[in-house]
Amino acid sequence: MPSMVVIATTAVPDHLRGALSRWTSEVVPGIFIGSVSARVRDQLWQAVTEIVGNGAALLIHPTDTEQGYAIRTAGSRRRIPADFDGLTLIRMTAAPRVKEMQSPS
């Protein structure tokens, strides 16, 4: 039975966005929503994880948990889902440091 999925992408290759748009609707840039079977969802997510490159992606889909949904991520993200006694919370990682340019003396 189909269920709703949301896939959010950041800085992914255009051909990945094209592949996702075959099964979902891109409602705003990088946000894809659709109703697909669990099999199609898992195959789409497999493609996302293989192609994401230096970008990032997030999948939200319904499941039998207290919250009613599951979160999967791929690529590098500052927000990391973490299980806390059966609840998915979001843990923030430190922002990458930018090296300061030193002027010649």
> Looking at residue 51, which CATH number applies to its domain?
3.30.70.240
Mean pLDDT (whole number) for 59-82: 90
Contact 48, 54 (CB under 8 A): no
Mean pLDDT (whole number) for 34-46: 96
Mean pLDDT (whole number) for 42-57: 94
At 103, is the pLDDT very low, low, confident or very high (cuts 50, 70, 90)? low
Higher per-residue confidence, 4 vs 93 = 4
Domain count, the chain: 1
| pTM recorded for the entire structure | 0.81
Asked whether residue 97 is domain-assigned, the answer is no
Asked whether residue 51 is domain-assigned, the answer is yes
Residues facing 6 on adjacent strands: 33, 60
* Position 70 pLDDT exceeds 90: yes
Enclosing domain of residue 25: 3-92
Please tell me the distance from the alpha carbon of residue 91 to that of residue 28, in angstroms, as a whole number: 25
Q: Position of tokens 């293989």? A: 50
Please tell me the distance from the alpha carbon of residue 54 to that of residue 77, in angstroms, as a whole number: 10
Asked whether residue 64 is domain-assigned, the answer is yes
Higher per-residue confidence, 35 vs 79 = 35
* Position 84 pLDDT exceeds 80: yes
* Position 64 pLDDT exceeds 70: yes
